[in-house]
Amino acid sequence: MIKLIKLWITLLFTILAVFGLLGVNQASAVAGYSATTAELSLLPPFCQAKLGTNPADHKLYSGKIGPDWLHIHHYCVGLNFTNRYKRSFGNKGDQQFYLQSALSEFEYMFTHSSPTFWMRPEMHVQKGKLLASAKRTVEAVNEFEMALKDNPKYLEAHVALSDLYKNTGQPSKSITALEQALQLAPNNKALQRRYNELTGKVFTPPPPLPTTVEQTAPTPPTPIPVEQAAAVSGVDSTTTQPVPASSPVPASSPVVVPEKIGTPSNPYCRFCPPEE
């Protein structure tokens, strides 16, 4: 009888613990801060290097990431918490914990990394996707727009924005966002396929605006003052004298032959002595 009572008490406590009636934290099953080997394999290579222990990998990727390599592990941990969030839809407590943890890690990166850090658009997109999956649409749109503010040509932001509008029943906005992406990459097959699924059409980029070339008359050379020209040529302008222009000879003027004087051998020598 006593054994039967103990068995029932044990069973009762088990039931209470399972349903959380004993005040047990439902998020107690959450994984630790560090990523497991399996989780690490799902992260980008630079995250595997940052969260790993290989000095050669650290040296390689630190040069590629830049000075903000110092803080990049927070972004990597945020990505890992995002993956955990997506895998924990069966547990509201765990899910909320992972969501807040991921957002905190992303926010740390935005406040501690350089404002010109080249990866900021990507970080905004990843944070926006997490918010979109949590049905926090307005915040997600804001993150995608901040990514485009940092880099208007970032295709992932345009595509993420298009997907969000599509999933929230805003097809016209979804098409507009996708067209903006196709303006940047009109030959991208994945984007063309998305556009065809939304519109049933093939995207054709608008023709470029015509460019007009203005015809301008050549500017006449500016006269150089005599003093400046002399200085450039090395001639002293104060020693040069103006050369008078010669008067043209009219074509109808008769040719005057001088009178022959002097000697026969030299008729034009006025003062030559006579020849013997």
How confident is the model at residue 274, as a pLDDT? Answer: 55
Domains, the chain, ordered by start? 38-118 (no CATH), 133-206 (1.25.40.10)
- CA–CA separation, 43 and 60 (whole Å): 17
Mean pLDDT of the chain: 79
- Average pLDDT value for residue range 263-267: 58
**Sorting pLDDT into bands at 50, 70 and 90, what band is 260?**
low
Q: Is residue 109 within 8 Å of 74, Cβ to Cβ?
A: yes
How confident is the model at residue 28, as a pLDDT? Answer: 45
Tell me the pLDDT tens digit for each residue of 100-153.
Answer: 999 999 999 999 999 999 999 999 999 999 999 999 999 999 999 999 999 999
- CA–CA separation, 147 and 106 (whole Å): 14
How confident is the model at residue 90, as a pLDDT? Answer: 82
Nearest to 101 by CA among 88, 113, 114: 88
Q: Give the DSSP letter string of 14-48.
A: HHHHHTTTT---GGGG---SSPPHHHHTTS-HHHH
- Average pLDDT value for residue range 213-226: 55
Asked if the model's pLDDT at residue 52 lies above 60, the reply is yes
How confident is the model at residue 233, as a pLDDT? Answer: 41
How confident is the model at residue 240, as a pLDDT? Answer: 41
- Average pLDDT value for residue range 188-198: 95
- CA–CA separation, 51 and 42 (whole Å): 12
- Average pLDDT value for residue range 18-22: 38
Cβ atoms < 10 Å from Cβ of 180 = 18
Amino acid at residue number 97? F
How confident is the model at residue 145, as a pLDDT? Answer: 98
Percent of the residues in the chain that have a pLDDT greater than 70, as a whole number: 65
Asked if the model's pLDDT at residue 159 lies above 80, the reply is yes
